[in-house]
């Protein structure tokens, strides 16, 4: 496979120079070179070719500069390494690039001998990194699959697994308690351990010094249904010894008065350095299963004719279900405890805790006024076709469309809802780039999230009913979405949603204060999630997070003068901080009020 190199520079003559320098390697298919004139073109190429090894990029380019491109590559393509091309005297940008994760840099005019050395060095580093990740993934997958199988066979596996880590004695007790045979060999192919279940199944004395190649002859292992000794190369434990996971159910033990069919699972065990140190095989007598399979085969033949008749009915029901899903979410029907929409009745309801999302296009009315009715529908459907799949990809489902607004539910975790919100904002960014290419106006959306208890059910009357959600939590999520305009935020979440996240440290967020919900006595904490903000704005908000939140606390303690001073300092550091602007206005209004008492 050729090494893939992406060159990003708005100097078109560089493309010819690169082709001329590496024409031999390109013809020999050792290199595959892509070119882009700016960061946006580079990102499109990276989306189509995500396994690009090296990006050579200039810093100063139109539309998207090299430093912005570098940060996006570091986030989305961690194994791709970036080499910066810059003027000799541009040390400040070179230093920024190295801080942002650049692997190396070259100065212009480019020394092509130095460029070739740098490319070769970077490719070597990329390959070493990917090889290490692949080995680690294989080792973890092998160990994980073995533990899952053992968990199916043994109760209280967690206690035994903890005991395994304590001592070799406890490991032996665990293996002896297993209802399946266990056979372990070392890296040299010699027998290391055999549990009592295995010895009872084999009915032969264990030969400690025997090698894997000798096992079929010693233990009378044959290919199922034949008098041929089981081939050495097909033995699962031999394949495990060579680093592969393997299973087999075509092995039989020939004993004096009976033949015992076995199912065998084998897997390698690696140390921390990725070296194979043991191969372990688990096996069990499957006589009863083989008999059951024969009986099942007979039953399947008898049922085949019935099944053919049922397929037509099932196809018709499937078509009806697929059509219904486009109007009533299938997840909604499932929560009602039904399998099909025909089972739903008026008044069905269920209560459950979920995360609720409201997403709305800002200033849609202004945008809509300039479009015809058809253009309005085309635009909304185009937008929804982009955000809808994102919601479903994060285990959510859309409850309803309210014009350009979307209400969605996430029944599993709050992280699903927040990850979906972040991904939706990024999807809108890609959509805006496409609209800009077409000369259309860009859009922004605000998203509000709240987690709480809600009622799902059906309302209406016998001839017309629809699914709906009833809860204060829904109103709160809608209110949070409205507040995104006030605070200039892309995503707002409630304190309940924040506390429901599996690991809050995985996100960038800041506290915006507490708000009074109409008709409710309690105050609700509001947090702004920064992960979907533009990189520069996110950095500024994160840098001023401590001061901003200190000012929020002072504000709620009615220390308005102190809060105002800190909010002003925050705004000086970040002139785009609309939340700071909002609180400065509120503080000034309070201080000017005749009823204010500090």
Please report whether residue 138 resides in a domain: no
Residues 546 and 524 in one domain: no
Give pLDDT, residue 141.
87
pLDDT (tens digit per residue) in 51-62: 999 999 988 888
Give pLDDT, residue 46.
92
Rounded to two decimals, what is the model's pTM? 0.46
Give pLDDT, residue 527.
96
Residues 514 and 391 in one domain: yes
Residues 414 and 511 in one domain: yes
Residues 254 and 316 in one domain: no
- Ranges of residues in the chain with a pLDDT under 50 are 316, 320, 323-327, 338, 340-347
pLDDT (tens digit per residue) in 10-42: 888 888 888 888 888 889 888 999 999 999 999
Instruction: Identify the helix (H) or strand (E) that includes residue 163.
Output: helix 157-166
Give pLDDT, residue 335.
56
Q: What token pair was written down for 158? A: 């967690």
Helix H, strand E, coil C: the string for 84-104 is EEEECCCHHHHHHHHHCCCCE
How many CB atoms lie under 10 A from the CB of residue 548? 25
Residues 525 and 544 in one domain: no
10 Å CB burial of residue 417 (0-12, 13-18, 19+) is buried
Please report whether residue 149 resides in a domain: no
Distance CA 337, CA 512 (A): 39
Give pLDDT, residue 14.
85
Residues 375 and 513 in one domain: yes
Beta strands of 271-320 (E only): which ranges?
276-285
Give pLDDT, residue 578.
94
Give pLDDT, residue 158.
66
**Measured between alpha carbons, how far is residue 10 from residues 66, 71, 105 in Å?**
11, 19, 17
Look at the chain and report how many structural domains it folds into. 5
Residues 263 and 405 in one domain: no
Residues 23 and 158 in one domain: no
Please report whether residue 137 resides in a domain: no
Q: Which domain holds residue 303?
A: 295-324
DSSP 515-554: EEPTT-SSEEEEEEE-TTS-HHHHHHHHHTHHHHHHHHHH
The phi-psi region of residue 225 (left if phi > 0; otherwise alpha if psi is between -120 and 50; otherwise beta) is left
Q: What angle do the packed helices 578-592 and 560-573 form, to 10 degrees? A: 150
DSSP state of 372: -
Contact, 555 vs 598, CB < 8 A? no
Give pLDDT, residue 317.
53
Q: What token pair was written down for 167? A: 């001592």
């Amino acid at each position: 496979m050729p090494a893939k190199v992406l060159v990003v520079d708005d100097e078109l003559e560089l493309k010819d120079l690169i082709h001329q320098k590496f024409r031999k390697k390109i013809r020999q298919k050792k290199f595959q070179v892509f070119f882009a004139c700016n960061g946006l073109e580079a990102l499109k190429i990276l989306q189509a070719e995500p396994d690009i090894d090296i990006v050579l990029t200039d810093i100063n380019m139109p539309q998207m500069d090299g430093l912005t491109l570098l940060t996006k590559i570091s986030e989305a393509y961690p194994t791709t390494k970036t080499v910066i091309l810059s003027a000799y005297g541009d040390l400040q940008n070179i230093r920024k690039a190295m801080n942002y994760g650049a692997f190396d840099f070259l100065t212009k005019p480019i020394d092509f001998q130095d460029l070739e050395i740098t490319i070769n060095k970077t490719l070597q580093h990329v390959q070493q990194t990917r090889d290490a990740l692949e080995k680690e993934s294989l080792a973890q997958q092998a160990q994980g699959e073995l533990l899952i199988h053992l968990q199916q066979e043994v109760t209280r596996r967690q206690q035994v697994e903890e005991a395994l880590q304590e001592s070799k004695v406890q490991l032996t007790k665990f293996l002896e308690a297993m209802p399946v045979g266990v056979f372990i060999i070392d890296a040299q192919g010699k027998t290391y351990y055999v549990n009592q279940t295995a010895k009872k199944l084999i009915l032969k004395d264990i030969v400690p010094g025997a090698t894997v190649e000798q096992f079929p002859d010693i233990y009378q292992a044959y290919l199922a249904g034949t008098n041929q000794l089981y081939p050495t190369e097909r033995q699962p434990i031999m394949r495990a010894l060579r680093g592969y996971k393997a299973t087999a159910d075509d092995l039989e033990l020939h004993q004096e008065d009976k033949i015992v069919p076995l199912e065998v699972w084998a897997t390698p065990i690696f140390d921390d350095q990725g070296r194979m140190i043991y191969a372990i095989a688990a096996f069990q007598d499957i006589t009863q299963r083989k008999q059951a399979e024969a009986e099942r085969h007979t039953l399947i033949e008898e049922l085949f004719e019935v099944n053919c008749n049922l397929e037509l009915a099932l196809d018709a029901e499937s078509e009806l279900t697929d059509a219904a899903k486009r109007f009533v979410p299938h997840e909604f029907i499932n929560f009602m405890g039904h399998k099909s929409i025909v089972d739903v009745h008026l008044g069905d309801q269920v209560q459950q805790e979920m995360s609720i999302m409201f997403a709305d296009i800002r200033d849609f009315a202004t945008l809509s006024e300039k479009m015809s009715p058809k253009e309005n529908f085309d635009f909304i459907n185009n937008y929804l076709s982009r955000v809808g799949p994102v919601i479903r990809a994060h285990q959510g489902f859309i409850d309803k469309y309210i014009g350009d607004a979307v209400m969605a539910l996430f029944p599993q975790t709050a992280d699903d809802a927040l990850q979906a919100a972040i991904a939706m904002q990024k999807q809108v960014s890609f959509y805006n780039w496409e609209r800009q290419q077409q000369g259309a106006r860009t859009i922004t959306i605000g998203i509000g999230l709240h987690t709480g208890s809600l009622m799902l059910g059906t309302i209406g009357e016998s001839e017309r009913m629809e699914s709906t959600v009833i809860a204060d939590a829904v109103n709160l999520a809608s209110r949070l979405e409205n507040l995104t305009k006030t605070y200039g935020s892309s995503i707002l979440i409630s304190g309940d949603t924040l506390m429901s996240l599996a690991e809050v440290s995985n996100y960038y967020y800041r506290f915006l204060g507490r708000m009074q919900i109409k008709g409710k006595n309690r105050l609700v904490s509001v947090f702004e999630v920064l992960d979907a903000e533009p990189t520069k704005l996110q950095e500024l908000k994160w840098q001023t997070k401590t001061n901003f939140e200190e000012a929020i606390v002072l504000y709620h303690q009615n220390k308005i003068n102190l809060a105002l001073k800190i909010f002003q300092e925050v705004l000086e550091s970040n002139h785009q901080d609309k939340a700071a602007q909002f609180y400065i206005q509120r503080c000034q209004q309070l201080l000017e009020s005749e009823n204010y008492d500090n």
